Structure formats: structure tokens, C-alpha cells
Structure 1
Amino acid sequence: MKRRAVLLIVVLVALSLALPALAQESVTHIIQPGETLFRISQQYGVSVEAIATANDIANTWTIFSGQSLVIPPADASLDELIAAAQGGTANDIEATAPEEASPPVEAADEESIEAEPVQEQIHEVAWGESLGSIARRYNMSMETLARINNITNPDLIYSGQQLVIVPGSAGSSDSGSYRGSSYSSVTHIVQPGDNLVHIGERYNVSWLQIAQANGITDADRVMPGMELIIPGGEILPDVEYSFVTAPAAPPARVGTGREVIVDLSEQRIYAYEDGALVRSVIVSTGLPATPTVQGSFTVQRKYVAQTMTGPGYYLPDVPYVMYFYAGYALHGTYWHENFGQPMSHGCVNLPTPEAEWFYSFTDFGTPVYVQT
């Protein structure tokens, strides 16, 4: 009997030692119709950011059925995730890591001295932060911060997002005037009826980048005949966007606390706190046959993810759902990217990262005004 007990203990110890080794192995997941990274991350107990990094996914809402994903172990390091995305291993990264610099001799050429490797950190974006303010906090250029994190649109970051930080990697970017910079650009003459949003969409450039490149602090003051520099799709370094007034933003209704306004004619949603505009996002509202309800409402129910069904559609795991009246809700969108045009059965479709931001911003009872 004693021998059996000893044998059982030996088996249990062996299993406990084997389990960590098994946990280190990545698995492959084939995306099924209707799945999202959020739902897949919950299934495997791994963060969305870890799966995105391991598979070199820049936009977490642009995945497709049949796509093969590497699911890393929950305790995988950043080096292992990056190596998985590059098709290598963490040992490959260690093998190519820069060697520690030896002390410089008196007559050594300054350019030949290797810099000591910098320790990477993770920064979680807080509400109200911008890419520019985060870069300055860690003495980085915004261009470097965006490149490290595969960010192609600097005004599309959101509260809770985790960014890889390399402190002190400011580079040689100049945060002064961009008119003489090496970024490719074109010139646009403003036409009657033009605004910065439409011009930006025409050139596939954020209107905030256009505003910064031309020193525009009020986006509504764009006049016909004005000559604008359109930056050529490159991220401008060290840009602070918070001072730019969003185009044609309606005034806050309440003026105290937090509130949300949806403008159907502009296909845009606005967030305000104590009367000040803090967020402006292009959305898709209801089609003519299924219009979005208008009026004064409040956030009534919230779900991190929910399956939505109705005549002619079945949408599993719709992310960040905020109901404001009956079946009408603000929510994330993974099935189209045609924002700025009516597309829905009555709900307000947002890009998923922006829906996550509004999900954190709103609470039960937050006013929601839908107007035209």
C-alpha cells in the first residue's frame, strides 16, 4: 500500500513538471466564420495583443474566415511573440541582439561606439492620452513609437491599448516645421464644399495630419482657394493632435459630465466631458429602410460581446455593445469598413477600437443624443 502511495506521488510530480513544458507550445487556430480576435483570445486565455503580435496583425478587427493564427502560450515573452511573427524563435532574437558595448578608448570615433541595448517596456494607454504625449513621456519620437507598434493612424489609439515602449529612442526626428521635410507630399487647392475630413479621405490621410502639416488649429476655418500640403501617407513625427478642433462639431447638450452625440447627416459620433469635445469618430448609421432612431436617450445596457440576429443577418460576438434605446445600440464592427456611409439596420457602427473607447467612456445613464 505504501509503495502504491509513493508511486502515485512520483506520477503526480512528473505530471506537474510536464505541464509547464506543454504550456510553452503554441497551437494553430483556423478562424471560423463570425469569429473575432476577442472571442478567440477568450477561448485560449491569451490576450488579443499577444495573438496580434505573434501573427503580425496591425488592425485587430481585420481578420478573415480561414486565416491561420498562431496562438502563443499565455506566458510568452515579447521576444517570443515578435519571433513568432517573424517566423523565428526567441533564440534567434537573442542570437542577433546587440552585444554590450565595451568602454570607449580615448581616441575612438564617436560613431563607432555601440549603444547599450535599451530595455523595452509596456505602456497601457490611459483615457485622454495621445500618441504624441506618450512619446514625449518616454523621450521617443512619435514616428518610432508608431512603427514599433504597427500603428498606421496616430489618432486611432484607445484607452486600455498596450504599447511597446523603448525609452530614449527619440532618434533624429525634428518636431518643427514639416513643410521642408523629406516626407512625400502633394498640394491640394480647397474647393467649395471641401472640408478636412473629405480631403483626408480622398488622399487616404488622416485629417489631423493635414491640420498639423498646415498649422491649422480650427478645422472649420478651411476656405475655398486655400492651398494645403497633403502629407504622403507617412506618420508625422512628434505630432500633438489634442489642440485641433474637430470639424463641424455640434455643441454639447448638457454641458456637465459625460455625454454622446450622434449626427446622422455627418455620419459621426462625438464624446463630450463637461461640455468639452474629447472624441470625434466617423461611423455608419442606419440605411434609409432601417433608419437610426432620433431623440434623447441614455445608455441602458452594455455587453462586451453579443450575438445579434435579425431579418437577413446573423452576427456573432459583436464587440462592445451599448444599447441606448430598445434594440438600438452603439457597437464595434468587424464585417465592413465603409464608415462614413449608412450601412446598418439601425444601430451605430463604430470601428472596433473606437467602440472599445466609447465602452470605457460611457456608463449606465450616460446621455446619448441622436440628431440629423
Structure 2
Amino acid sequence: MRTRVLRMPTCAGSSPSAPGARSTLESWVRGAAMRTKLRALAVLALLAAQLVAGVCPAEAASPSVHVVQRGETLYSIARRYGTTVEALMRANGLTDPTRIYAGQRLVVPAPGTAQPAAPSGNVHIVQRGENLFRIALRYGTTAQAIARANNLRSTSLVYAGQRLIIPTGAAQPAAPSGNVHIVQRGENLFRIALRYGTTAQAIARANNLPSTSLVYVGQRLIIPTGGAQPAAKPAPAPVQAPTSGKWIDVNLTTQSLVAYEGQRPVYWATVSTGRARTPTPTGRYRIYKKLRSTTMSGPGYRFRDVPHVMYFHGNYTLHGTYWHSNFGRPMSHGCVNLRLADAQWLYEWAPVGTLVVIHR
């Protein structure tokens, strides 16, 4: 039986050795190479555009991490990175600036980090030496209102360069027959009078108080309307106030400090003075030395990098305090403790030779 062999027709170019097949393969290889080059050029163009726009991913602003070394404080770390103690505390969820330890990893916020602006209200950029109280006076509102508008936990936690929303219409209008104010912790008549645009003497007269310093937490005070009323016979001041020049008044009873230019008050702060066993001396003194920062030590304590120190009598000083926040009550070994922002403002404002009057 004869076997028949069937031959399949051969299409042109189906054989690998055919010239047409080689031409097709070479065309495909050249096309693939061209596509690869185009993709590489696209990537290079994208990177170039990012460099021109200043948005290089490797250099985008991001927080850095600092490992705390033995002997360091939040204040010294903040100075090293050009930031503030308050900013470091917020970035790391700290509530006590003294509770850090060697080996702790701290997030250092990137410089220039700003808070987004609210849809309404003015925006104020915090300047060096400012605090919420001073800013509030400028805009006719209160430090508490600004703190609420910016979700701040404390009226002292601001830093240079911070963007603050100034609420519109935050100041409380005076009622026609007089407001009633309930005294809060750390307040005195002077601070309350500044808030309502009157004087401490006028409030004392409206409430039949024998002295401008006799107020207590929870006390209800009538705030007179129409500004200050002239007194027939003003109550005697506890100290003889200068009539010109810069001077500082420290009231041990109210735990407050007021900076004056002549008889005009320009700044107010709550302080912590000496405890019963280590009292702050009373009298009239002069600032004789100023230090940006120094180490303070004594029996049972040693604090490094104490900021904005001003000596007024022996080793007694006015200085910034980062190891406690109990301002408004005696806490010190005799010095006058100030919040960091208050100490910085006072340091920049008061030259050597400024009078310091301390009394009860």
C-alpha cells in the first residue's frame, strides 16, 4: 500500500531564516528600544520639573528625630534646632518639660511649620518676645479667646513665627449697668481692669474693697461702666511708684509682675516667687547683670540652661522657668520665676539698671 505524504503550503516569512522574518524582528527590537528611551526621558523630565519647582521628594520638609543626651534639656534642644520648648512638647505629646531622659527619641518639628488659617478672623504672625496677653491687648480681645480660636491648651504656648487666628468680635462688650466678673486663679485687679478697659482703683471702689490687691478666686466683682471715675482720695500705694523711666513691680501677695514706663503699665505676667522657707526679699533693687542662659544650682536642685536671667540682688534673679508651670503660687528658692515667653519679653525690654520693686 502506497503512503501519500501531504505537504503543507509554506507562507512567505514563516520560516525563521526567511529575510522577511529577520526584518520584522529587527523592527520590533528597534521599537522596544525606542519605547524604553521614551520612558526614561519621561522620568527625567518629571524629576527636572520637581527640581525646578523645589519639590524634590528627598528634600521635602519633614520632622527630624533627636536622641536625648545626658545633661540635655528641652530648652537646650530647642535652641540647637531653632525651635521652642512649646513646639517640641506639642510634637511629642509632652505635658511636663522637665520629664525627658537620656536615650529618649524626640520628634523635632520641621522649621516653618504653620497652622492653617481659619475661614474668618485676622491672622497674626507671632514675633520674637510676644505672648498671647500682649497680642490680645493689640487686637482688643483676650488671651483666652485667642487660645480657644487656635485650639491651644495654654495661654503661654506660642512661639516666634506661629500663625494665630485672631477671633472677630471676641472682646466682651460692657453691659449698660456694669458687668460681673468672677475672679479666676492667678488674676488680680490690675489684670481684670486691663481686660475691661478700666482701672484697678475703679473696680476697688465699685466693690468697696479697702485695697487693690484683696481679691480671691471665685469672688464676684462688679465692673463699673464708663471707665475710671476720679477718686476723691486715692488709697495709698504699697510702694512709692516712680514717675518716669522703666521699672518692674513684683507683688508677692498676688504673685504678679507689672512692667511700667513711668506710671503707664506696659506688660503684666503671673509669677512664682519664693516659698515660706526661701522667701523672695522685699525692697527696691536694680538689675545689675543679665545672662541669656546659665546653670542654677543649690541644695536639692540643679537646672541647666535657665533662660533670660536678670540679677537684681545678690544671687536673686528674675528668670524663665521650664521645670514647672504652677505660676500664681510660691514655688521658688527666692528668685522670681516667669513663663518662658514672659521672661524673654522682660529680658529684651529691661536694660541693666532697671528698678525692681518687690512688696507684699
Fold shared, TM-score > 0.5 on shorter chain: yes
> Which residue of structure 1 lines up, in the alignment, with residue 310 of structure 2?
322
DSSP 3-state at the match of 2:148: helix
Contact 2:76 2:305 in 1 (8 A): yes
DSSP 3-state at the match of 2:184: helix
Structure 1 residue 301 corresponds to structure 2 residue 336: no
Contact 1:36 1:317 in 2 (8 A): yes
Change in Cα spacing, 1:41 to 1:264, as seen in structure 2 (3 Å) is: same
DSSP 3-state at the match of 2:306: strand
Q: Give the paired residue count.
A: 283
Change in Cα spacing, 1:256 to 1:291, as seen in structure 2 (3 Å) is: same
TM-fit CA distance, 1:315: 1.2
Change in Cα spacing, 1:331 to 1:143, as seen in structure 2 (3 Å) is: closer
Once residues 267 and 34 of structure 1 are traced to their aligned partners in structure 2, the CA distance between those partners, rounded to angstroms, is 31
Runs (5+) with no aligned partner, structure 2: 1-53, 210-217, 222-226, 229-234
Runs (5+) with no aligned partner, structure 1: 1-16, 83-96, 99-114, 180-185, 189-198, 231-241
> Which residue of structure 2 lines up, in the alignment, with residue 107 of structure 1?
none
TM-fit CA distance, 1:215: 8.6
Change in Cα spacing, 1:334 to 1:326, as seen in structure 2 (3 Å) is: same
Once residues 65 and 52 of structure 1 are traced to their aligned partners in structure 2, the CA distance between those partners, rounded to angstroms, is 10
> Which residue of structure 1 lines up, in the alignment, with residue 251 of structure 2?
263
Once residues 342 and 322 of structure 2 are traced to their aligned partners in structure 1, the CA distance between those partners, rounded to angstroms, is 12
TM-fit CA distance, 1:365: 0.8
Contact 1:148 1:164 in 2 (8 A): no
Larger Rg: 2
- Aligned with residue 125 of structure 2, among 122, 126, 131: 122
What amino acid does structure 1 have at the position aligned with 2:80? Answer: Q
What amino acid does structure 1 have at the position aligned with 2:260? Answer: Y
Once residues 258 and 171 of structure 2 are traced to their aligned partners in structure 1, the CA distance between those partners, rounded to angstroms, is 32
DSSP 3-state at the match of 1:220: helix
What amino acid does structure 1 have at the position aligned with 2:351? Answer: D
DSSP 3-state at the match of 2:272: coil
Offset from partner CA, 1:69-123 (integer Å, 9 cap, x none): 421233x4426xx7xxxxxxxxxxxxxx99xxxxxxxxxxxxxxxx8x9996624
Change in Cα spacing, 1:32 to 1:289, as seen in structure 2 (3 Å) is: farther
Change in Cα spacing, 1:228 to 1:356, as seen in structure 2 (3 Å) is: same
Contact 2:273 2:280 in 1 (8 A): yes
- Aligned with residue 82 of structure 2, among 42, 45, 60: 45
Offset from partner CA, 1:321-372 (integer Å, 9 cap, x none): 1111221101122233333443322212223322222212211111112334
> Which residue of structure 2 lines up, in the alignment, with residue 344 of structure 1?
332
Aligned identity (percent) is 33
DSSP 3-state at the match of 1:277: strand
TM-fit CA distance, 1:28: 2.8
- Aligned with residue 99 of structure 2, among 46, 51, 64: 64
Offset from partner CA, 1:254-280 (integer Å, 9 cap, x none): 221101133334433332111223334
Once residues 54 and 141 of structure 1 are traced to their aligned partners in structure 2, the CA distance between those partners, rounded to angstroms, is 26
Once residues 305 and 281 of structure 1 are traced to their aligned partners in structure 2, the CA distance between those partners, rounded to angstroms, is 20
TM-score, normalised via structure 2 length: 0.58
TM-score, normalised via structure 1 length: 0.56
Contact 1:29 1:70 in 2 (8 A): yes
Task: Supply the RMSD in Å over aligned alpha carbons.
Answer: 5.0
Change in Cα spacing, 1:360 to 1:313, as seen in structure 2 (3 Å) is: same
Change in Cα spacing, 1:77 to 1:326, as seen in structure 2 (3 Å) is: same
TM-fit CA distance, 1:289: 3.3
Contact 2:63 2:107 in 1 (8 A): yes
Change in Cα spacing, 1:208 to 1:29, as seen in structure 2 (3 Å) is: farther
Once residues 89 and 254 of structure 2 are traced to their aligned partners in structure 1, the CA distance between those partners, rounded to angstroms, is 32
Change in Cα spacing, 1:33 to 1:146, as seen in structure 2 (3 Å) is: farther
DSSP 3-state at the match of 1:320: strand
> Which residue of structure 2 lines up, in the alignment, with residue 164 of structure 1?
163
Once residues 340 and 78 of structure 1 are traced to their aligned partners in structure 2, the CA distance between those partners, rounded to angstroms, is 31
Change in Cα spacing, 1:217 to 1:298, as seen in structure 2 (3 Å) is: closer
> Which residue of structure 2 lines up, in the alignment, with residue 78 of structure 1?
114
Offset from partner CA, 1:205-252 (integer Å, 9 cap, x none): 88789768989753423348xx9769xxxxxxxxxxx99xxx997455
> Which residue of structure 1 lines up, in the alignment, with residue 320 of structure 2?
332
Once residues 51 and 367 of structure 1 are traced to their aligned partners in structure 2, the CA distance between those partners, rounded to angstroms, is 35
What amino acid does structure 1 have at the position aligned with 2:320? Answer: G
The 5 A counterparts of 1:1-372 are 21=58, 24-29=61-66, 36-48=73-85, 51=88, 54=91, 62=97, 64-65=99-100, 69-74=106-111, 76-78=112-114, 122-124=125-127, 130-135=134-139, 145-151=146-152, 161-166=160-165, 170=168, 175-177=172-174, 199-201=183-185, 217-218=199-200, 219-221=203-205, 222-223=207-208, 250=238, 253-372=241-360
Offset from partner CA, 1:123-160 (integer Å, 9 cap, x none): 42777984445446xxx998774334444666x699x8
Once residues 37 and 314 of structure 1 are traced to their aligned partners in structure 2, the CA distance between those partners, rounded to angstroms, is 15
